[in-house]
Amino acid sequence: MINKRSRFAVLCALCLVPFLLFTSCENEESTPAFQNKCIKRSLGPNVAGQEIEFVYAVAIQPGAGRLVSAQVEASIAGAPATYLEHRSYHTAVNGIETAVVVGNPCVNSGNITQVEFTADTCAAALRYFYAIPEEAKGKNLKFIFSAVASNGERVSMEMGEYRIAEMDIKLDLAVSASQCYISLEDMAVYTAAQAAAVPGKIDLVYLYRNYNVDTVVFNHAFVAPATGVVKYLPGVTLPSGVNRDTKIRNTGIKDAHLARLHQKGEAQPAIYIDDIDLREMDMSRMPNYALDIITNDGMWLETQDGIYKAYIFANNMNRGRAGGTISIKRLKIK
């Protein structure tokens, strides 16, 4: 015998059935035949000379048509290296990322990058690499991703805004016993003869000394060419007029833009130095030398006139001999 409470429960369940049927039908009907989605893949601050990477996925239901074209419109035209992949990427069953050619190589026209599909496909995931131009520094960027299907339908998606950092970046500058005068203004390394031509721009001297004494570890050093640190410039005859006093602060930070440790098979933490880090780094009372710099060490710097603040990463310091490779991030403060 069914009691009153059970009867009420059955009645409620029966009432819910048409409601569930109605809502499920409504969802099916509202699913568009042509859809698009976009994600930003690159991390960290956006710096001129680097890329911003997106993945743009478009799909149309098989019966509704096929893909005709996809394009990206940037609010500021990218540098010439900007491109939209004409290959669609997917992860194969073995976990390997696999590319399939789906169209002609992209065409850049002003701030628009377009790919025409040649394959008869109803879905694609294209990668877009926006090469950040110099003129975008300090500005905000927006992107409109769109695609057109053979049935004339168009879908689009806006991404951004993204702030472009004001800093400059220079990768993999070689330093050696002769190529040892570093200018933060030029973000370049000069020989003594070249430094003599631009003495007011030389902020740092690279040197290597192996004292072979138990109590002193000098090795690779970066020293300001100021008069007070002659002690740390043994055997160095500075070119005439090279006398700037640069503040240096050692740091253990491994900026991902500069370090790129993953390329060496090491773990690269997602740490990025941004404009604000350089701007707010307190360099008062810092010394003007850094000794025993080894591979993967970092340094904050401030030029004598306070115009530039920078971060230098030692990508490689040769073991037991002079020479190495450094990368620089630099911000004009004044």
Partner 1 sequence: MKPFVKTRLILLSLPVFLGSCLFNDYPVDEDGLLITERSECYVSSFQLVGTDYQTVVFNDKSIVLGNGIDTVACTISVKVKYGTDLRNVYPQFSLVTDAKLEPKVTGFTDFSDYKNNPPRYTVVSGNRKVRKTYTVLLEEHEYVPR
Residues lying near partner 1 in the complex (CB under 8 A): 211, 213, 215-218, 221, 232, 234, 249-252, 285-287, 289, 291-292, 297-298
Cα distances from 61 to residues 71, 89, 102, 156, 197, in angstroms, run 20, 19, 17, 17, 66
Q: What is the DSSP-derived secondary structure letter of residue 177?
A: S
CB closer to partner 1 out of 152 and 235:
235
> In this structure, are residues 89 and 127 in contact, taking their beta carbons and an 8 Å threshold?
yes
Residue closer to partner 1, measured from CB, 117 or 232: 232
Tell the smallest beta-carbon distance from residue 211 to partner 1 (Å).
6
Shortest Å, Cβ 280 to partner 1: 15
Q: Specify the 3-state DSSP secondary structure of 127.
A: strand
Cβ nearer to partner 1, comparing 26 with 280:
280
Phi, psi dihedral angles at 30 (to 5 degrees): -80, -10
Q: How far is the CB of 222 from partner 1 (least distance, A)?
A: 11
- For the CB of residue 285, give the shortest distance to partner 1 in the complex, in Å: 6
100 to 37, 91, 118, 208, 240: CA distances (angstroms): 19, 11, 12, 50, 60
Residue closer to partner 1 (CB basis): 58 or 233: 233
Beta carbon of residue 286, minimum distance to partner 1 (angstroms, whole number): 7
Q: What is the dihedral of CA 109, 115, 118, 122, to 10 degrees?
A: -150
Choose between 133 and 298: whose C-beta lies nearer to partner 1.
Answer: 298
First vs last C-alpha separation in the chain: 88
